[in-house]
Every structure is written in structure tokens, then in C-alpha cells.
Amino acid sequence: MSKSVNNMSMGVVEPQERLKHLTHCGALIEVDKNMPVTRYYRSGTEMLRMAKVYQREGNHENAFILYLRYMTLFIEKIRQHPDYASVKSEVRDINKKIKDEIMPTTEKLRTKLQAHYQREYEQFLASKEAERVRELERERERQRQREQAGASSIPSLIPANLHVLIDEVNQPSAPDLDLLDKVVYPNDFPTGANRSLPGSGSGLLLPAASEATAADKTAVSKPSFDRNQKPAYNRTDSLLAGSLRLVHVPGNTMDVFLQLAHANTSKNIETCGVLAGNLSQNQLYITHIIIPQQQGTPDSCNTMHEEQIFDVQDQMQLITLGWIHTHPSQTAFLSSVDLHTHCSYQMMMPEALAIVCAPKYNTTGFFILTPHYGLDFIAQCRQSGFHPHPNDPPLFMEAQHIRMDGQDKIKVIDLRS
């Protein structure tokens, strides 16, 4: 096994290997031919919005990954979409932006990361060498103590020439000391040298393979824990690790939405809204509910004039973080239609939430498609309307990456009036 692979397994990678890993993460984006092509342009806009926040906050790794994904999407992958011909003119404008702005910015980030990784690697090697020297000194001291103990235990009546022979036996030879240089001690990979440098603004380490993420949990039953007591996801390498960023939900979100939906609920008609917000310190904050023009039935709700939603988000620099809707007479769950609706949100934003309010039962569900099964299954399903899906493995689960913030208040933009 090469040195770089050994170092990677212990959390330290040579600079070029680390950049290679970032580049791989930046290429992790695919185009679903059944998704409206306009959704990818919205996703690209929000990708750039988040990349600029990461760059401003000094999280250069995540900014670099998002810029690479943007370029991968619009230079390469979008051409695979069957509706690509209808948006060629927009692609030309985007490619000009990539050439004039995004590509130079990405190259500057690459240079910064290369220099930072090189400093970290040199620090690691220096720490490793210092520890090797210290261990060699400790071994020499132990050897000296063994020699002293051996000499003091020999009776004084033994002839002097035997003392000389004993000294020769106990004295370490040069080959023995050379062997010490080749010993790999547990502290050859100290954690101190494996941390990012002060002021970097991001943890520039690859995640350990044993780390589990909340997205790996596939339990469908509603959790009994207090969401406010859940640990914060304070990772700065979430895009590297594939873990979900924490989403903050204002505590009054559901009450405010139910009041907006009351007229429809009393008529047994569903109401829906778009959850939007912003990114800060690698965490997502829902700040607004945008209520679009819509048509509802007792078990479905369809948005109209989506361009109005996009205009509001662009004016206020808001990122789409999911959607919220009511089940006026049913419990909180995701129907087959809901699963397909949420799939389009979660494919664009892995952390996107589907909040379901069931006023008749006074319950609320915070759902996502199971990342390792449900998301792909629904993306491949070509049926429409209400239709059966298998229940095992589960297609959706309770979201574990949320935090209810009692002090924050949701804002509403109602486009129905």
C-alpha cells in the first residue's frame, strides 16, 4: 500500500491526492432526463448562491466543490437532457459566465487549497519526524538504564576482563539502532498535525470511513426524542462526506402555515407552500414560506405560475429548502404523489424537507426520501397520479437533520392574493 493511501486512511493525504478527491466530489452530479430542464437552471442559480456564501465564509473546499459541480452540470451533463435544444441560448450565456467569472475563481481556489494542503502536509511530516526522534531518544535512555542495571547486579569478585565482555554484550550495535528508524509507532500519525491551520475557516480533512451520518438511518417510525436536544451538525466537510447539513426550522412555522391554510382545510382541500431560506456557517436556515398560486383537492395540491416563486427567490437571494403541505383529513405521511413531488426537491437539494401538517390528528411529519434507496427508486418510477409503491425497504423516513428554533419566526410571502 502506498504512503498516500496509508495517510488517507488515517485522515492525512498528500496535497495532490486531496485535490483529486475534491475534483471527484465536484463531478458528482447527474441529470435526470425526466426532470424539467428548468429545474436544473434553478439548481445552478442556487448552487452559485451557496458557493459564494462558502467562499465569503472562508470554507474554500465546499465553494470549490460547488463551482466544479456547476461547471460539470452546464458544460457536460446538461447536454444529455432531451430538452437541451430548447435552452441552447441560455447555455451559451452560462458558458460565457463560466469562462469569464467562474473558471478563474475556481482556479484561484485551487491554488489556495494546494498551498494550504502543502502546509498541512509539511506540518504533518515535521511532527512525525519529531516524534520519531523523541522515541529514538526514549529507546536510548531505556537501553542506558538496562546497561546500568546489568552492571550494578554483577558481583565485585568477578574478574575485570568479564566486565569488559558484559559491556560489549550490552552495548547496542549500529544495526540495532538502524532498525529503530524503521519502526512505525502508533504516534507516527498524531492528531495534532492532522488538523486544519488556524484561520482556515474549514476543516480540510477527509472524513474517517467509520463516521456515520444521519442520512444513513432508515427508520420510518416517528422519533420519540426531543428535536431540540439533537446534536448540531457542525461539519465543514459535509459536501466531501456526503452528510446532510443541519436545517433550522422556525418554531412557529407549522402554526403560521395552518392559519394560512385554514380556509382550505375547512373545505377539505390541501394547501402547499415552498420553504426557502439561506446558508450560513454550513447550516441551512428556513426563513420564508412562499405560498404560490395553486389548485388543491382533498388529497393533492398543484402549484401554478412557478416563475413568480423564482422571481421572489432571486430578489431576496433565497435558496429552496423543501416544501410544506396539509393533509386535511389524513395522517402525516407521504403519499405516492407526495413522493414524486418531493423527489424533484431532494434531487436538487439533498437536505430538502417535506413537512406534512395533519390538523385533524394534530400531528406534523418532517420527511425525506431514504437517500440510499427511496430517492433512486422514485426517480426511476415512471407512473403518475396515485399508484402503489413497495413498502420494504422504506421509501421515506423521518428527517433527522433538523433543529426547531423556538426564537426564530417564519416570514410569509403569499402570492395567491
CA–CA dist 149, 145 (Å, integer): 6
Secondary structure of residue 312 in the 3-state scheme: helix
Q: Are 288 and 413 in contact (CB under 8 A)?
A: yes
Q: Which three cell numbers stand for residue 332?
A: 402525516
Report how far Cα 217 is from the mean position of its chain's Cα atoms: 15
CA–CA dist 272, 356 (Å, integer): 9
Q: How many CB atoms lie within 10 A of CB 330?
A: 15
How do 247-250 and 283-291 pair as beta strands?
parallel
Q: Which one-letter amino acid corresponds to residue 50?
A: M
pLDDT over 50 (residue 183): no
Domain 1-201 has CATH 1.20.58.80: yes
Q: Are 349 and 320 in contact (CB under 8 A)?
A: yes
pLDDT over 80 (residue 208): no
Fold of 214-414: Cytidine Deaminase; domain 2 (3.40.140)
For range 367-372, the mean pLDDT:
94
User: Domain coordinates of the chain in residue numbers?
Assistant: 1-201, 214-414
pLDDT over 80 (residue 27): yes
Closest of 207, 7, 246, 19 to residue 112, by C-alpha? 19
Mean pLDDT of the chain: 81
pLDDT over 50 (residue 323): yes
Query: What confidence category does residue 11 fall into, taking pLDDT thresholds of 50, 70 and 90?
Result: low
pLDDT, tens digit (0-9, with 9 covering 90-100), for 271-296: 999 999 999 999 999 999 999 999 99
Closest of 286, 360, 359 to residue 323, by C-alpha? 286
Query: What confidence category does residue 155 fall into, taking pLDDT thresholds of 50, 70 and 90?
Result: low
Across 389-411, b (16+ Cβ under 10 Å) vs e yields beeeeebbbbbbbbbbbeebebe
The predicted model scores a pTM of 0.71
For range 384-399, the mean pLDDT:
90
CA–CA dist 291, 306 (Å, integer): 11
What was the pLDDT predicted at 191? 35
Closest of 199, 26, 15, 204 to residue 106, by C-alpha? 26
Helix (H) or strand (E) holding 413: strand 411-414
Least confident of 75-84, 118-127, 379-388: 379-388
Least confident of 85-89, 115-119, 208-212: 208-212
Q: Are 56 and 282 in contact (CB under 8 A)?
A: no
Beta strands (DSSP E) in 252-408 are 272-280, 283-291, 293-297, 300-304, 319-326, 353-358, 363-369, 396-398, 402-405
Query: What confidence category does residue 362 fall into, taking pLDDT thresholds of 50, 70 and 90?
Result: very high
Higher pLDDT, 386 or 251: 251
pLDDT over 90 (residue 218): no
What was the pLDDT predicted at 180? 33
